[in-house]
A and B are shown apart, each in its own frame.
Chain A
Amino acid sequence: SQQGEEDPQALSIQEGENATMNCSYKTSINNLQWYRQNSGRGLVHLILIRSNEREKHSGRLRVTLDTSKKSSSLLITASRAADTASYFCATDAKAAGNKLTFGGGTRVLVKP
């Protein structure tokens, strides 16, 4: 079973628009990580946010974490065609050791 669930499953936007995707999870976590994947191969690490953090930024990416709601969001500002990819959240759950549990991903299409 998957701890994290992304929403929406797919997203189509125009270049320059912002893209927001959400992740919900079920159990207490040590941290939550967001990844990008192109063409079903290697995952690129985007941001790690720890359970005691509420918001992190990296370039055009902004991640929030609400542990009371067990949810996180990833915002991509001023999207580019190169941002087209699948985005996954993954949780490092306290009760699950140090393995990551991934959601099913959000497929983002940025149209030029």
Chain B
Amino acid sequence: GAGVSQTPSNKVTEKGKYVELRCDPISGHTALYWYRQSLGQGPEFLIYFQGTGAADDSGLPNDRFFAVRPEGSVSTLKIQRTERGDSAVYLCASSLRTSDEQFFGPGTRLTVL
């Protein structure tokens, strides 16, 4: 089937606005992960879901960031009151089970002006 998909591919917003980024994992994958990658660096972990619940949200930088996965499939990463420092590529990955290969989507490039 299809790989991990993410929408939108690019998002430009103004400082202070609210944004939602969507991730559609590979069908049947129970684990879903969000990462953030700044230019020239490796991805950094944000949050991980096992099924519908957030199993580890230790990477979320502050309470402006929140993610949900209400039905155990699609996930939405929500960022309130965006700041210029939030500009990055936001990557989503899924795996069949934990500690299996993680397959990444193409990412959403977020630019906060």
Contacts and interface: CB of A to CB of B under 8 A. Distances in A.
Interface of A: 2, 4, 30-31, 33, 35, 40-45, 48, 88, 90, 92, 97-105
A44 B105 CA distance: 9
Contact of A97 (B48, B95, B104): B48
Interface stretch (B13-21, B36-44, B69-77): B36-44
A90 to B, nearest CB: 8
Interface residues of B, number: 31
B43 A102 contact: yes
A86 B42 CA distance: 10
A97 B46 CA distance: 13
25 contacts: A33-B101, A40-B37, A40-B39, A41-B106, A42-B91, A42-B105, A43-B91, A43-B93, A48-B100, A90-B42, A90-B102, A98-B31, A98-B55, A98-B95, A98-B98, A99-B45, A99-B59, A100-B33, A100-B35, A100-B43, A100-B45, A100-B93, A100-B102, A104-B41, A105-B41
Chain A to chain B: the 9 pairs with minimum beta-carbon distance, closest first: A102-B42, A98-B98, A42-B106, A99-B45, A43-B104, A97-B56, A48-B101, A30-B99, A102-B43
Nearest to A102: B42
Nearest to A43: B104
Interface string B96-113: 001111111111010000
Given A35-B104, A42-B106, A98-B56, A104 B42 contact: yes
A101 B56 CA distance: 13
A39 to B, nearest CB: 10
Given A44-B104, A104-B41, 16 more contacts: A4-B42, A31-B99, A35-B104, A41-B107, A42-B104, A45-B103, A88-B42, A90-B43, A98-B48, A98-B56, A98-B99, A99-B33, A99-B45, A99-B59, A100-B43, A105-B42
